[in-house]
Amino acid sequence: MISASDFRNGTTFEMDGELYRVLTQSQTHMGRGGATVRAKLRNLRSGSTMERTFGPDDRFEAVRLEMREVQFLYNDGELYHFMDTETYEQPVIGADALADRVPYMKENMVMEIAFHDGEPIEIELPAHVDLEVTYTEPGHAGDTAQGATKPAETETGLTVDVPLFVNIGTVIRVDTRNGKYITRV
């Protein structure tokens, strides 16, 4: 069991039959009253997020997730297919559970999947991915006084603000945690 006052970013627990991961948390101590814990949570099965306030003594079942290295094979619209690099099993995850991670995923990319009781729950992307720019406007000479940027669309459909010197066909490195351009590759 884990109490709400023990929540840390990344803590996984079970509440009302659903699995949740703490994205952010803060504790507020009132003068004479008790403390409250405010947490932003992600439902690991549906991918939805919510904010909730807990009492410090609210208790939940702690959950351990098993991490396995997998390779992304393909998607068929609603389902994403992976292959375990050790056992060659092919777990499948629904598009709704992946939500904001899909634009960073390329075929044959290696990542980790979290399993709970043999069920694939969530993927963990690498810290950065290399993506090819498929569309961007040309940069104009003289526009660089303020470190100007322009939008660029990548091969996965992700739109990233890039420096003016990046052109179509350039491979760029993108941070998967915040979606920002890092460098040319």
* Alpha-carbon torsion (125, 128, 131, 133), positive or negative: positive
Task: Print the domain residue range for 105.
Answer: 66-124
Helices (H), the chain: 95-98
pTM of the predicted protein model: 0.72
End residue of a domain, out of 62, 88, 113: 62
Q: Are residues 35 and 78 in the same domain?
A: no
Structure tokens at 10: 């990344």
Q: What tens-digit pLDDT sequence spans the chain (185 residues)?
A: 888 888 888 889 999 888 898 989 888 887 776 788 899 998 887 778 899 999 878 899 988 888 899 999 998 888 889 999 999 999 888 887 777 788 999 989 999 988 888 888 888 889 999 999 999 988 776 655 667 888 999 998 899 999 888 899 999 999 988 889 999 88
Same domain, 44 and 57: yes
Number of domains in the chain: 3
Which string of DSSP letters, residue by residue, matches 118-129? TEEEEEE--SEE
How far apart (Å, rounded) are the C-alpha atoms in residues 102 and 80?
Answer: 9
User: Does residue 58 share a domain with residue 7?
Assistant: yes
